[in-house]
Structure 1
Amino acid sequence: MLTQETRDIVKSTAPVLAEHGTTITTVFYRNLFEAHPELLNVFNHANQAQGRQQATLANAVYAAAVHIDNLENILPAVVQIAHKHVSLGIKPEHYPIVGEFLLKAIKEVLGDAATDEILSAWEAAYGVIADAFIGVEDSMYKEAREQDNGWNFFKPFTVVRKVQESGSITSFYLKPADGSNVPDYKPGQYISVRVLIPGEQYTMIRQYSLSQAPKPDEFRISVKREETNDPNGVVSVYLHNEVNEGDTVEVSAPAGEFLLDTSVTTPVAFISGGVGITPMMSMLETVANVTPDRPVVFLHSARNESLAAFGKDIEKHAAALSNIKTRTFYSGGPDGVITGEILKSYVDVTGDAYVCGPVPFMEAMIGELRKFGMTEAQIHYEFFGPALQLSNA
């Protein structure tokens, strides 16, 4: 337990963290990787290069400082991050290393302002927060390991089929290389794929939504090919160009909190932009299989027709549903974008909405859904990469 004095010190330094947080976390990652380059096998290099990981960690540290009296307030965020950690293979022994370099970064950036008293308070607070993560992640690892066909960390999978879905998206059908089946998963979850690209020093891990309803013997991911010169594109370009049927990749067990509630039959709207359609395909297929009378709206936005994926799959699943409205919008064409008026005309305010896509698209959609009366509990969403704060959230 933290003493009241420790809590008071941590809370009093929250404004300083808000001001210097990204500088502190930038110094933290630089020094961490200089001392422990092996951790580059775990961290996303592209998010590092773009500053997204630094900003996310700064937000997390600030949130912990603000809520130090009631850390249960940040438990939902802890669970979401813990899912990503488990999917990446973060282990308990990583936490003391991170704590050491976070405190050193606070001292380096704040200088004399970071007194021994402040550093001691933050060391104690970090210990409590780290223990919370380790405990949550231990439960997740146990559940992943003990479920039917489960495992921890990474396991070899064979690419059994590779199917082009659009001008930029290709699906990879993956089966365990040892011939076993795969664990069940919830529609909306993701897996991590780990590859060692020829010429690269460190392995790279990317998380991809599972894009079909659960099957006993395979996973399907659908990967958007990013631009070759985009740091985010290294793995997707490698998968598209170099990984073929018969090749092997390493895969983690399914994880994630962006889940379709399959126990209800109230109206549901799936609203996606670009490759954000991938978790929606798993959800749509599941509704078609499990609750075919559930009222469904499926709205998707793509730049143009050549980039719109899964047209035939959507038609097939729609045919199994008794009450569905689907529409695809082309932002580069006469249909334009999904507006608030369109959402209002399609989405039943008494049901639930699931939103996934690029950050600006999601901010716009979530903002419009809130405007016409949907509550936080009714709107479900997931960002790609490190969690970013929603404006207006």
Structure 2
Amino acid sequence: MAIAQALQTQDVAKPTTPASPPASRPAVSVTPEQIAIVKSTASVLKDYGEAITTVFYKNIIDENPELKNVFSLTSQATGAQPRALAAAVLGYATFIDDLPRLQHAVERIAHKHASLQIQPAQYDVVGKYLIQAIGIVLGAAATPEIVDAWTAAYGALANVFIGREDILYNEARARDDSKGWVGWRKFRVQRRQYAAGEDATEGILSLYLAPVDGKPLPSYEPGQYTSLQIFIPELGVLQSRQYSLSQAPRPAGDYYRISVKRDLGTTGQTPLGVISNRLHDLIKEGDEVELSQPQGEFVVEETPVPTPSTAAAAPAAPVDQESLAPLVLLSAGVGVTPVISILETAAPQGRTISWLHGSHSRKVLPFNKEVQAIRATHPQRIQTYTVLTEAETEAAATSPNDTVVTGTHLKVAELPAADRDRLLHLSDKRTGYYICGPSSFMAESRDALQSLGVAPERIHLELFATGDM
């Protein structure tokens, strides 16, 4: 809501100011004329945006080498980060007169920035080098009017981000009666675990991480992630990556669990995952890493709504199960990591849940025992549907509500009619759909659901890669 309110204050009809700018920063006005100029540059950014952001990253890192500890050097090497920033800048130029359209992207970026501990002063540095890069790439075409318009537009958007991230930091500090924190906190690897049957080459490694200071940990929203930071000796810098918290929040607050798939890269195309491989091969029990406070917007939005018969009851009265919206969880590969936390949390609430997952084989099917145990505990309300790319004679269903099939991958559009009706709960317009996996899988699943009549606002995606969808 805070993002929407801030963005809605920017209107082409009048000079604009972000809502409630941080007290330490001046408000920035963008005139209607400047908005028109920025919008008119969208076609230029479509052609030159990646060139601009490539120059931007090179110059800002060359002249501020300490930022190597902030930016993902892998995303720099692959070009993913310049492409993502170019797309974001293009989106801003295109919708600067309709900024609520960008609410989801801004919220997603704000959460990631908060997980990386981005500070207001860093926005000033970014603004300087971004405007400089526009001038370098466009040359004489970057007129003073264009430069002034983009300077004002960037300043206004920076204040929106800074204001939202300030809220996220304050919420983190106050979480669970001030058990939360801001900044990087030391954690010790308490336990390393591969699921039964998994090996270190193919499997997903779960790390149980306990705070070194021994103080209780705050809770988090199922589906959220934490940033993990470690020093990479061969690069000489700190690097961080985001990993979903792959377990329902623990009342004891004694540890967090993340689950990491080894990133082998693609020969000749992308480098090996510098952090995932180090976690699999070099980080041992007893070693220390640093984590930031949990963040992320991939959380269940549908909250229990009391029915008329319970509305006047005492707060402790149980909520009618019929008032709970069904959940459909769709995942592929390591995309299960935020989904399992949602499943573990939602099942005891009395929700009706379908979990559809795609995997190579039972051997690398993450959290299979946990999922089966949850389904066995709630046999009437939880159904699972698994697509394996490798046929296995032992991959038989374990119960009437457990379907196992062989196929190329999980395709919502190709579900048999009977399975589609049973699993997707399309007739209930409150159903929430939560999707995580490769971007192509998520886009395909989203499009299939929309073609079946699911409203876009009920479809939620968690994207592990840099950028947005």
Q: TM-score range by the shorter chain?
A: over 0.9
Give the 5 Å matches for 1:101-250.
Answer: 101-147=129-175, 148-165=178-195, 166=198, 167-215=202-250, 216-227=253-264, 230-231=270-271, 233-250=273-290
1:250: how far off?
0.1
1:262: how far off?
6.1
- Structure with higher Rg: it is 2
The alignment partner of 2:297 has SS state of coil
Alignment-derived partner of residue 354 in structure 2: 297
Change (3 A) 1:378 1:73: closer
Q: Which moved more, 1:90-99 or 1:163-172?
A: 163-172
State how many pairs are aligned: 387
The alignment partner of 1:381 has SS state of strand
1:145: how far off?
1.6
Alignment-derived partner of residue 20 in structure 2: none
The alignment partner of 1:282 has SS state of helix
2:248 and 2:344 in contact (8 A); partners too: yes
Is 1:315 the counterpart of 2:372 in the alignment? yes
1:10 and 1:65 in contact (8 A); partners too: yes
Is 1:19 the counterpart of 2:47 in the alignment? yes
CA–CA separation in structure 1 for the residues paired with 2:140 and 2:468: 31
Is 1:288 the counterpart of 2:347 in the alignment? yes
CA–CA separation in structure 2 for the residues paired with 1:283 and 1:232: 30
Q: Which moved more, 1:201-210 or 1:226-235?
A: 226-235
CA–CA separation in structure 1 for the residues paired with 2:264 and 2:105: 31
1:276-319 deviation digits (Å, cap 9, x = unpaired): 00001101100123x1x321111110122222111111112212
CA–CA separation in structure 1 for the residues paired with 2:444 and 2:102: 25
Gaps of 5+ in 1: none
Is 1:47 the counterpart of 2:78 in the alignment? no
The alignment partner of 1:93 has SS state of helix
Q: Which moved more, 1:68-77 or 1:53-62?
A: 68-77
1:198: how far off?
2.7
Is 1:267 the counterpart of 2:326 in the alignment? yes
CA–CA separation in structure 2 for the residues paired with 1:66 and 1:364: 25
1:86 and 1:153 in contact (8 A); partners too: no
Is 1:100 the counterpart of 2:173 in the alignment? no
1:176-215 deviation digits (Å, cap 9, x = unpaired): 1000111110010000000002332111100000000001
Change (3 A) 1:232 1:130: farther
Q: Which moved more, 1:220-229 or 1:38-47?
A: 220-229
1:261: how far off?
3.5
Alignment-derived partner of residue 297 in structure 2: 257
Alignment-derived partner of residue 4 in structure 2: none
% same residue: 43
Alignment-derived partner of residue 335 in structure 1: 406
Match for residue 344 of structure 1 among 389, 405, 420: 420
Gaps of 5+ in 2: 1-28, 305-323, 392-404
Change (3 A) 1:378 1:48: same
1:159 and 1:246 in contact (8 A); partners too: yes
Q: TM-score, normalised by structure 1?
A: 0.95
2:355 and 2:384 in contact (8 A); partners too: yes
